[in-house]
Amino acid sequence: MRQIRHCFLYYALLSKRFFKKFSFIILLCTVPLLVLGLKNVSAEDTGMLKILLYAEDPEDETVRELTAKMLKEDSVINYQSVEDVDTGKRMVARGEADALWIFRDDFINRAEKIISTGRKGGGVITVIEREENVAMQLARVKLFGIMYPDLSYALCKNFVKSELGIEATDEELMNYFKSSGNEEKIFNLELVEGDAAGITEKQNYLTAPLRGMLALMIILCGLAAEMYYLQDKEHGILDAFSLRRRQRSVYVYQMAAMIPVAAAIFAALYLIRDFTGVGRELLLLSLYLLDSVFFCNLVRKLFGTAGRLGAAIPILILGMLVVCPIFFYFRNLSAIQNLVPTFYYLRYSCVRLELGDIGKMLLYALIGGALDMITDWFARSRA
């Protein structure tokens, strides 16, 4: 009981010491600033492309339905309607928009004429672009997909009359066309691990990597605590402790630095609604903290001194930013990804957590703890 009380007192004193360090306060304040900044940005109209929509005939029912569908859609393309075509052209020329889509008047009749005669003529939509690139080509494919339900009847009508030679009134064809509709989905999205329930929820593409960036901050704080430990060791502050107690004290250093940041991250995930439940998030964060402790310990022992570790920290964080599935996911880097605890945390945060997943994170901690104890034993035997 006395040892536990002593450990908590040591933790409280180290936490107080860390909170007096300006660099630690800056690191801690980065969490809410990063969350609030991205939350404000994601609340605005954002998108990979900004496309302006203009209708030559504002009273055209088909065009109104098409543009309304685009404006209401949750997409990485930001659609915006303009009332004047010259204004739209100026915005594209100035770089304020990527493209202007002009929906021609008499939209359906033009489409039917093109389908029946095969002549392109002036087209049904005029596209004015700032530059041609892959994103714009994909946007036009998406445009055709949005238009297709309205053009499919014209295609069906032309096929029945021209190819099959069946004489039927427009009313008969329309009734047949509507009766043959199928509302079922062609594609059903499922995850290999877990279900796809979370995929359908609305999530801004700017805030999607936020969990990974926040998770790396725990690693950063753990490495910073290792630096403080090495500095104290070099300055003789830990000389009063035995070698065994000195080796164990590093865990208190890490917890004093990492737990406040983990608490801030827990609150941040709740604020941005990237939250899957209190129990689940606490379990994942606890396992991640445990894995990160041993990871940071082994990194400290690999570099040895505070100077070398400080020089390596930016490279390590940048490397994990690439290796872990934060912005990109590389399947051919699995051998490296399995060495980083952040990879497990991010992987299991987006699927249904099962006992096997918990077991893998615990196995990581057991292997890391075993390596940590073995290296400590070798250090004591050489002393």
Mean pLDDT, residues 79-104 taken together: 89
Better pLDDT: 48 or 14: 14
Better pLDDT: 10 or 214: 214
Q: Rounded to an integer, what is the distance from CA 35 to the centroid of its chain? A: 13
Contact call for residues 39 and 214 (beta carbons, < 8 A): no
Residue 194 clears pLDDT 50, i.e. is over it = no
- The pLDDT value given to residue 72: 83
Mean pLDDT, residues 248-264 taken together: 89
- The pLDDT value given to residue 190: 63
Assign 202 a pLDDT band (cuts: 50, 70, 90). Answer: very low
Residue 371 clears pLDDT 90, i.e. is over it = yes
Distance in angstroms between the alpha carbons of the first and the last residue of the chain:
30
- The pLDDT value given to residue 236: 82
Q: Which CATH architecture has domain 49-195?
A: 3-Layer(aba) Sandwich (3.40)
Residue 241 clears pLDDT 70, i.e. is over it = yes
Token pair for 5:
């009380």
Residue 234 clears pLDDT 90, i.e. is over it = no
| DSSP summary character for residue 5 | H
Q: What is the pTM of this model?
A: 0.67
Q: What is the DSSP string of 165-191?
A: -----HHHHHHHHHHT---S-S-----
- The pLDDT value given to residue 313: 92
Give the range with max mean pLDDT: 24-33, 246-255, 271-280, 284-293: 284-293
- pLDDT digit string, tens, across residues 120-154: 556 788 888 888 888 888 888 888 888 877 777 67
Residue 165 clears pLDDT 60, i.e. is over it = yes
Token pair for 125:
């939509």
Mean pLDDT, residues 71-91 taken together: 85
- The pLDDT value given to residue 184: 59
Better pLDDT: 174 or 314: 314
- The pLDDT value given to residue 171: 67
Contact call for residues 215 and 342 (beta carbons, < 8 A): yes
Residue 352 clears pLDDT 80, i.e. is over it = no
Q: How far apart are CA 88 and CA 307, in angstroms?
A: 56
Residue 68 clears pLDDT 90, i.e. is over it = no
- The pLDDT value given to residue 195: 44
Domain with CATH 3.40.190.10 in the chain: 49-195
Residue 196 clears pLDDT 50, i.e. is over it = no
- Which of 200, 70, 90, 38 is CA-nearest to residue 142? 70
- The pLDDT value given to residue 362: 93
At residue 358, φ and ψ (nearest 5 deg) are: -60, -40
Reduce the DSSP state of residue 329 to 3 states and report it.
coil
H helix intervals, the chain: 2-19, 22-43, 61-72, 85-94, 107-117, 134-158, 170-179, 210-234, 243-271, 278-303, 306-323, 334-337, 341-349, 355-382
Mean pLDDT, residues 281-294 taken together: 93
- pLDDT digit string, tens, across residues 304-348: 888 899 999 999 999 998 888 887 777 778 888 889 999 999 888
Q: Over the chain, what is the mean pLDDT? A: 80
- pLDDT digit string, tens, across residues 34-66: 777 766 655 555 567 889 999 888 888 888 888
Residue 214 clears pLDDT 70, i.e. is over it = yes
